[in-house]
Structure 1
Amino acid sequence: MNMIIAKNEQQKKDAYAVRRAVFIEEQKVPENLEMDEHENQSIHFVGYVGGKPAAAGRLRFLDGYGKLERICVLKNLRGQHYGKDIIRAMEETIRSRGFHKAKLNAQTHAIGFYQSLGYEVISDEFMDAGIPHVTMVKEL
């Protein structure tokens, strides 16, 4: 996978297209919750497979953490380590900005995936967009 930070409008549109397919179409998250007021202040990542957008995520910096958000891989491309690729790229960006802690809100079905990458659950389960989540952190 060719993982990049979106630097132009087309790359951002590619990231949004992956998020739309996964969160809005597949998981039925309302569009107004998926595409929110933080889009313009976020660093957007997009991964390409065969020249086509396949994975996406966004990164913000809050309260001493790099906050990983909206991490997704198209359904037909899951299980090929692309999720790990995007997390690693986001973590490297966090470190390059001088931060040493990462935080994310994980859908509960993905807890094991994030634990395999060194994240620890630090919250009780909560609902976000009708989907159960937990907050997880990692020292980088």
Structure 2
Amino acid sequence: MSTTILSVPVFSTLCNAAFGLRREVFVWEQKVPEEDEMDDYDLTATHFVAIQEGEVVGTLRLIFLDEHVKIGRVAVRQSFRGRGIAKAMLRAAMSAAAEQGHDRFFLGAQSDKLGFYESLGFVAFGPEFEDGGMPHRAMRTYDKDTAQLID
């Protein structure tokens, strides 16, 4: 099954579907407090969606900060997990940012997802912290050519 990855404008029909998916995954499934799920960054972030079988089945956002690009709100509908959708979205989003000259990426990963992000070149650092009621670790990209963390 082919997956289409698109960057979508905030509050477009597709972005609104992504917001609905985030509510489904984070609030309903993972019990993140609803007031913590959406924030002011949603107004300025670059939002990506994954479309499969005619519906939005995945989403993430990029926040362009001075020190790095922060990846967040990575979500895939439960019935579509295990198909490589999150990996495809991350690669597409990071590639789009790289085309704009960005090479430093940061994210806060749920602790049970560290291996997934490590497979994409991220390295955990710092202590575990709680976000949305779940343990997380900060992660950043790792330059395989120089064997150095990208600060």
- Scaled by the length of structure 2, what TM-score is found? 0.88
2:21 to 15, 18, 23: 18
CA distance in 1, matches of 2:19, 2:122: 25
Contact 1:100 1:139 in 2 (8 A): no
Structure 2: stretches of 5+ with no match in the other structure: 144-151
Quote how far apart the aligned CAs of 1:123 are: 1.6
**Paired residues, number:** 140
Structure 1 partner of 2:7: 5
Return the index of the structure with the highest Cα Rg.
2
2:137 alignment partner in structure 1:
134
Unpaired runs of 5+ residues, structure 1, are: none
**Mapped partners of 2:128, 2:100: distance in 1:** 30
3-state SS of the aligned residue for 2:89?
helix
1:67-86 to 2 correspondences below 5 Å: 67-86=70-89
Give the Cα–Cα distance (whole angstroms) in 2 for the partners of residues 59 and 118 of structure 1. Answer: 17
The percent of aligned pairs where both chains have the same amino acid is 34
* Aligned alpha-carbon RMSD (Å): 1.2
SS of equivalent to 2:105: strand
1:55 aligns with 2:58: yes
Q: How does 1:118-129 map to 2 (within 5 A)?
A: 118-129=121-132
State the AA in 2 paired with 1:2: T
The answer to whether the 8 Å contact 1:102/1:138 transfers is yes
Code of the residue aligned with 1:91 in structure 2: it is M
**58-67 vs 99-108, greater mean Cα deviation:** 58-67
